[in-house]
Structures are given as C-alpha cells and as structure tokens.
Amino acid sequence: MKYISTRGQTQPQTFSEVVMTGLAPDGGLFLPEHIPDFSTQCEALASLSYVDLAVTLLDPFVDLPRADLQGLVEKSYATFDVPDVTPTVRVGDMHVLELFHGPTLAFKDLALQLLGNIFSYLLERDGGELNIVGATSGDTGSAAIHGVRGRPGIRIFIMHPQGKVSRTQELQMTTVVDDNVYNLAVDGTFDDCQDILKSVFGDLDYKAKYHLGAINSINWARVLAQVVYYFHSAFAVMRETGAAEVDFSIPTGNFGDIFAGYIARRMGLPIGKLVLATNENDILARFFENGVYAKGDVHPTLSPSMDIQVASNFERYLYYRLDEDGDALRKMMQQFAETGSLALPHAPRDGDPFVSGSGDTAATLAVIKDTYETHGYLLDPHTAVGVHVAKRFQRDDVPMICLATAHPAKFGDAIVQALGEDLAHHPTLDALEGCPERKTALGATLAELRDVVADAIEHGRRCD
C-alpha cells in the first residue's frame, strides 16, 4: 500500500514513511491510494477479539510484518483496563461506545498507545531520533505524552491553549515530568496552536534538520487505529439486536474521529448515518447543513476538546468530495487560507452518510442530568453533545451508537453544574492533585516555538 497527498504534489510514500513524516511536504494530508473492501468478510470479522480484529483491518494498510504488527497491537491495548478494550453498553434506547478505558481515560488512547509503539519500533529498526511536535485542545496532549514518555530517541513538545482546557486535562500533561516531555502553554486558542503547528511542519528545512514528527490526527496512523472500534462496536450491536446496519453519533471538533467512521464505511462496514455533533463552535455542522465552511470566533464551552474552528482532518473528506482531484483541493484550501471560507461547487451527493447538528451548554447540561437520573449513567460533556444531536436523527429500525469520548471525571466541574453533586471521580485523576508540575509559557508565535524546540534539541535546554 502506498500513500498519496491530498494536494497531489508529493511522491507516493510507504506507511512507515507516512507515520514518521506526518504532514505531507506539499502541505496536504496523506491518504491510501485505495481503500480495501472488507464487506464480504464482516461475518468472519465479527467473531474476532479486539486485538485480532485490529491486526486484520490494519494489515493491508501497513508495511510491517504481520507478526510484528500483532505484537505492537497486543502491547498497545494491554494498557487498557477492560479486556474488551472498547465495550459498547446499552443506555436507554441508545448504545454508548466507551472509548475511555485507556491510560488517560480518553478516546485518543486508542490511537496514541499504538502510534507510540510504532514510533519506537521504526526508530529501533531504522535508527535515528524523532522530535514530536503537537497541539491539543484537551485530550490529545496527555494521550500522546503517555504514549511516548521516557522512550529513548523521542522528545515530545505539546502545545495547549493556556486556561482553555479543563484543569484535569492540564494536570494529565503537566504532571508528567519525564525529561523527554515538554509542555508548552500557549497564550491563545487551540486554533492558534494548530496554525503554529502547520507552519512549523511547512518549513521543510527546519522539519528535516530537527527530525520533526506529528502525533496530531494529521498523522494517518491516528485515523487508521480509530477505524477499528467502529467495526468492533457495530458487530457487537448488530449481534445483540439483529440489525443489518447501525448509525453512529460522534462529538467532533477536528473531524478525525468521525473521518475514521467514514473510512470504516468505505471499507464495507454497514453504517447508515454518521451523525456529526458539535457544540457552539459549529463550523462543521454548518457546512453539512449549507455547504459553506467559514471560520468564526472560538467560544469556550463545557466541552473544550471541541472548541475548534478549523478542523485539520476536514481536508481529507474534501479530497473525496472533489473526486480525488488534488489540484482542485489545493486551490480550495488556498482560498480558505486567504479568506477564511470555502463552499463546495456541488450539493451533497446521494448516499452521503453525514447529518449534523449542535448542542449548546444548556442542552449539554440537560442531557447529562436526564441520562443520569433516568438511566444512572454518567456522560461527559462531549458525549452529552453527541447524545443530544443523536436524538434528532434516531431511527426506529436502526440502532444508534453514541461515541463516549472521555471519562466524565475529566470534566468534574461540568458534572457539578449538571447535577449539583461532585459525582465524577476516577482514582487515576484524583491522584494528580498536588503532584509536581512542569510547563513553559509560550506566546502564540511560530518564532517562540522554533526557539524552544531548537534549544531543547541542540543544547538540552529547558525553560520550565
């Protein structure tokens, strides 16, 4: 399997090259030259364990020996606290796919535990070093840090918007004091962090000199790992209900998680609808309603991981919507960079699985309260947005699966607001209070990031 850039000006690369490169040299995102079709294998796949299912689905996409891939997958998911890795539970007339059983209690662990192990495998095989630079709106940072902390040959620099992630999310990053971890608190928004990230990867000389790699969902391996739990959950629910297909509701800000569902559908998984759920930062919901993708101001909410106006993975979807025309996509993204908006030249196609909606703060709190009082099940605020929007599109004859993207204990303040009680706790998170912290304040500029990274790599210098 070779990989091509959405912008069409990069030579095809192998999976190993794509994993270590992250963003394509032409500024685009990597996608496989073709999507394998598993539609005729679903019956056999449905009986596999999570690990064996992951190996089977990932194998056609990677250039690793299958035995090595098996070992990497087993090692990655041995860190989860339930044998089923991503269990799906019934909550009233919906199903909830629990993606928070990994080390940092968020869905990002599903990809980043595996990606960390792949990085180490490739460095051991090929030599060299890797300096990971990433940005987080909340959960990616801690999951990435825990995926590579203490690993030889790897440094990780994570930017987060100061004061715009939950205190628990911040502690999950800043209390990791391994020497190879650099937490950068940026005076700005997540979109500022993401702009800086894209700029530093766009400087190809700097990127090559300092051996930069990406852990954000611009890295194809992130999306690929997330495809697996769509298959795993769909099989479980279809087995339970006898349904021929399922719908999924996905709270999303950066379009990576829902794009993984889109790839799963293209691989032959019987998904009817993909419900895109946003909070007040509804650029994606508005696009799927009117075809216009236009930036607005970022609004702080109870679901900070979705407080995003520019979704980095959206380019991958646009590539498919533009009939895989890299030239057209490149021109469209240039227009967006210049004007802050774009519009598709044609209406959504028949058979497009996406429907969309948004849930504001009042709706989020109401869903958390109603779900707990009615079913005794506690939702985090991101998942509550997904449940709220799912209710608009729920069909009588098709099961609806809502992705639970984080443990509610990560957002205890929101739970208190919704229920009036401090009910959301987890021993892993409670233990963080009072631990030593390490972070560096950073202005929202490319120059400051470059200086911090260069000083750390060349001189071992820290500013924290």
Q: How far is CA 368 from the centre of its chain?
A: 23
Structure tokens at 194: 């993401």
Q: Which of 108, 207, 273, 410 is catalytic?
A: 108
Half-sphere exposure of 62 (CA within 13 A, CB side): 26
Q: Is residue 207 among the annotated active site residues? A: no
The one-character DSSP state at 432 is T
- What is the SS3 assignment for 158? strand
Is the distance from CB of 54 to CB of 228 less than 8 angstroms?
A: yes
Order of strands across the sheet that contains 130-135: 212-213, 130-135, 154-161, 181-187, 440-443
Angle at alpha carbon of residue 76, lines to 71 and 82, rounded to 5°: 120
Among candidates 233, 224, 236, which has minimal Cα distance to 267?
A: 224
- What is the SS3 assignment for 385? helix
CA distances from 324 to 4, 33, 256, 386, 441 (A): 10, 10, 18, 30, 41
CA distances from 70 to 53, 146, 248 (A): 10, 21, 28
Catalytic residues, by residue number, are 108
